[in-house]
Chains A and B, each alone.
Chain A
Amino acid sequence: MNDPERRPRTLTRQVVIAGVLLGLLQAGTFALLIGAVQASDRANREVNQILGAVEAVSDLERLVVDAQSGERGFVISGQERFLAQAEAAEQQIPRQEQIIRDGLLDGDERRIFEPLSREIGSYITDWLERVNLAARRSPAAGRRLVGTGEGVRRFDVIRAQFAAIRRGLAVDADRSEATARAAVRRAVVIGAAGIFLAALLFSLYTAYVTRSVVVPVRRVAATARRLAGGERTARVRGAEGARGEIGAMARSFNQMAHSLEQSHDELEAQQRELTGYAEELEVQRGELERTVGELEAEKARTEMISVFGEAVTAETAFAPLAHLILHGVGDALRCDAGALYVRDARRDGDLALAMARGLDAVELPEILRPGDGLAGRAVVELRPVVGSPGAGTVRTLTGPVPFAQELHVPLMQGGEVFGVLSLGRLAAVPFEQGDLMLASHLADQSSVALSKAVVMRELRRRESITRAVLDATPDAIAVLDDTDHPVLANEPMRLSLALLRERPVPEVDGGIVRDEIQDPRTGRLFTRYVARLDERDVGLHGRLVVLSDVTAEREAERMKDEFFALVSHELRTPLTSIVGYLELLHDEADGKGGDPETEQRRRFLGIIDRNARRLLRLVGDLLFVAQVEAGKLGLEEGDVELEAVAREAVEAAAPRAAAGGVEIALEAEPVPPLRGDRDRLAQALDNLVSNAIKFTPDGGRVSVRLRTEANHAVIEVADTGIGIPQADLQRLFQRFFRTKRATSAAIPGVGLGLTIAQAIVHGHDGLISVTSEESRGTTFRIDLPLHRAVEVTA
């Protein structure tokens, strides 16, 4: 490769020179050959021309003969057809003469031909025309002229000249033929010599190329095969001395082989290095495979967690969810048994056993206390607790088998434990860190779903209770949305939905609107309560409607009212007569006066009157209490001077007090007038005062005190009587209640006085209270507001 570029040209030059020589030889041979052929051709053409000239001369001779014979025929026979033949021939003769002139190359023949042509022309124009004219004048003249023999003579001269021309042409033809043959012979010799020389040169050239190209190339090829066969040291022999391109090729080949050897050595070194790398890679691949395996395991675990998460999220009912968690987590951790404890509102929020798997629920504690056992520790420590062995047993066909390993996972929600998942393995395979992590993961997912389910269960439970309570309530209850559509209706309401629709439910802002409606179909009366429901947080806004069937109540009230009216009328009417006529008798007795008989009658009338009035008061009290019971206390409002009321009460009671040996006194401070029913307040005070007198023994004292405290009027009735046992104080205001002592002491009364007094005081928005000490006395106190917030309508 390093050799100069010049050297390899040697072979190229040799090849070029040899090629050029061979080409020149061939070209020379062809030139000679072509020259010989052309000479031959030229000679042949001359022969052909001569032969054509001979033919043309012969044709001209025949035409002359035709003209002569035709003329002669006409002369002899006198027939015009001979003459026509002669004339046709005569006409063709000049043209034929021209053909001959053109075809004749040789000057000799042309020299001979021109006299012949003149001779023919004169023969035809002089002789034949003369004969023709003579024959036309008369055949005999014609024949005579012919008979002269001039015609034959002139015709023979012409024929002799034709013969001379033909001879000249034959000589020319023979000469040309000889020339052609000589040219052909020359061409054959030249061609044979050229071919021989070319073959010789080609053979020499081939031998040379074989020696200088093929042999070295073969050597290189053999060397290449050896190289290919792995013989790295193989080289082309004698390459260094070799010349030309082949030498250069051999040297280049050797260089290439050398380079190859070096490359091979380098490659071997590299391969050794690569082998090292490959071993290292193999190690890394092993690590990678391990990592991939771990990743796959992790992926499977993640997928399991995900699938489990989806499953528990999709389940909202508690029992199936508990089952799912217990089995799902248990299977994932290869546990044979388990139990699930969940906070239960029904168990005061304790962790109660919700479900067991592979365990006898009867033998498990129903309630899991924090700190109790391993599960209890998980609750306290808020993390999974692992334990072993034998804290629990699982029932098998062959009897109880203790757990080898236990795991307790707290279920957390919002930072608090609301359940514990306990799992157990029979096999002594300890729980690993991965197990605990997996358990925590699954527990987290379980917690979310389970806490929802617990809430849902609790909601359902409460809803069931609410529903049961609602349905068990005799009142019809409904909740209407803003479009008056009932979103909730209890069982009784379902019977009254038509009524609910027919009677527009009033709008209500706050408080409770109450009205009364009647069902036109059944005639039943309902008290309707409507209240606003506005719990925006839970999207609840509408109205609560309660229909309370008051038909029976109203009917009872009506009957009671009728009864009271009747009884009242029936009792009062006879009393009216008694009291009225007594008054008339009194007046009459008053009119007479003096007479002892009349005095006694008046005394009797007084007794009757007193008892009639007592009876009247009893009737009044009974009816009043009945009225209070019915919630129909009627008060006739007016301005009341309490001092006057108190004084009248004291004055009215004075005779009875005196009769019982009891001192009675009024201690009144000025009190502003207040709104109220004067007669009723007087009645209340009368009752207190007459009680005080009744229960105060001889020599005792009754004080009626009136004063103002803050914005209250205070009336006190204090006695120094027998007092009331503490146990009786509570029941004092109950109707018909009498203390034992009152009964045993035969103190009159039916036990209505205090009841009535209390009802009247309450009717005035007041308070009545009592303090008592046995054997020392009793004090009743009435507090009446001076300014009442709400006016009681009369």
Chain B
Amino acid sequence: MSPPLVLLAEDDEDVRTLAELVLRREGFDVVAVADGAAALVAAAARTPAVAVLDVSMPRMDGLETARRLRERRETSEIPIMLLTARVTDADRERGREAGVTAQLDKPFSPGVLAERVRQLLADGPAG
């Protein structure tokens, strides 16, 4: 059985590398992209088991990407985790509206990230 595929979208290269490193070390297969548009392309190419999206990205932000993913049949029910710079309740509410399953505030501990992704996969499809 091939390892679950994690779709990772993060515009900051350092953070992206860190997250990819941690997730791979946890045994996940990872497709790492730098923005939402690329994430949608990647998701179309290979349906991920879970998506980890940064909120603030050029071209298409994490919220919009989440909405698009939900619109596609293949990804309509996968768990989606948003990496946020926690600011306000309104930000969180926007995330829920966009259909994300979980939100993780930056800065995050690599260990916590790996733990949360494992948890999402164990909980099964969103919704």
- Hey, which bits of chain A sit against chain B, CB under 8 A? 561, 564-566, 568-569, 571-581, 583-584, 616, 623, 627, 630, 632, 634, 794
Contacts and interface: CB of A to CB of B under 8 A. Distances in A.
Given A565-B91, A577-B14, A583 B56 contact: no
A571 B87 CA distance: 12
Contacts of B55: 569
Given A569-B55, A573-B12, A573-B15, A580 B109 contact: yes
A60 B2 CA distance: 210
12 contacts: A561-B87, A564-B88, A572-B85, A573-B106, A574-B14, A577-B12, A577-B14, A579-B107, A580-B108, A627-B87, A630-B88, A634-B88
A627 B85 contact: no
B110 A584 contact: yes
Contacts of A572: 85, 105-107
A630 B90 CA distance: 12
Which of A569, A579, A581, A632 has the most chain B CB within a 10 Å cutoff? A569
Contact of B110 (A573, A583, A616, A623): A583
B111 A583 contact: yes
A569 B83 CA distance: 10
A583 B89 CA distance: 29
A710 to B, nearest CB: 31
Interface string B11-43: 010110011011000000000000000000000
A577 B17 CA distance: 9
A571 B56 CA distance: 13
Given A576-B18, A576-B107, A584-B21, A564 B12 contact: no
Interface residues of B, number: 24
A583 B15 CA distance: 13
Given A573-B106, A575-B107, A583-B109, A632 B88 contact: yes
Interface of B: 12, 14-15, 18-19, 21-22, 55-56, 85-92, 105-111
- Pick the 8 closest A-B CB pairs, nearest first: A576-B107, A634-B89, A568-B85, A572-B106, A577-B14, A569-B85, A580-B18, A575-B107
Contacts of B15: 573, 576-577, 580
A565 B109 contact: no
A576 B108 contact: yes
A609 to B, nearest CB: 11
Contacts of B111: 583
Given A561-B88, A573-B85, 8 more contacts: A575-B107, A576-B12, A577-B15, A580-B107, A580-B109, A583-B110, A584-B18, A794-B89
Nearest to B55: A569
Contacts of B22: 580, 584
Nearest to B105: A572
Contacts of B106: 569, 572-573, 575-576
Given A573-B15, A577-B14, A584-B18, A616 B107 contact: yes
Nearest to B18: A580
B110 A580 contact: yes
A568 B86 contact: yes
Contacts of B109: 579-580, 583
B56 A565 contact: yes
Contacts of B56: 565-566, 569
A623 B56 CA distance: 17
Nearest to A566: B56
Which of A565, A569, A573, A580 has the most chain B CB within a 10 Å cutoff? A580
A561 B91 CA distance: 10
B20 to A, nearest CB: 11
A585 to B, nearest CB: 11
B19 to A, nearest CB: 8
B114 to A, nearest CB: 11
B107 A623 contact: no
A566 B109 CA distance: 21
B21 A632 contact: no
Contacts of B88: 561, 564, 627, 630, 632, 634
Which of B22, B55, B85 has the most chain A CB within a 10 Å cutoff? B85
A530 to B, nearest CB: 25
Contacts of B92: 634
Contacts of B21: 584
A623 B18 contact: no
A579 B18 CA distance: 10
Contacts of B90: 561, 632
B87 A564 contact: yes
A578 B110 CA distance: 11
A451 B90 CA distance: 60
A49 B90 CA distance: 177
Contacts of B108: 576, 579-580
Contacts of A574: 14
A65 B107 CA distance: 209
Nearest to A565: B87
A568 B87 contact: yes
Nearest to A793: B89
A763 B85 CA distance: 22
B73 to A, nearest CB: 32
Which of B18, B19, B107, B108 has the most chain A CB within a 10 Å cutoff? B107
A632 B88 CA distance: 6
A561 B106 CA distance: 17
Nearest to A571: B85
A632 B18 CA distance: 32
A219 to B, nearest CB: 150
Nearest to B21: A584
A157 B55 CA distance: 208
A571 B92 CA distance: 19
A565 B89 contact: no
B52 to A, nearest CB: 13
A460 to B, nearest CB: 49
A500 B32 CA distance: 54
Which of B21, B88, B109 has the most chain A CB within a 10 Å cutoff? B88
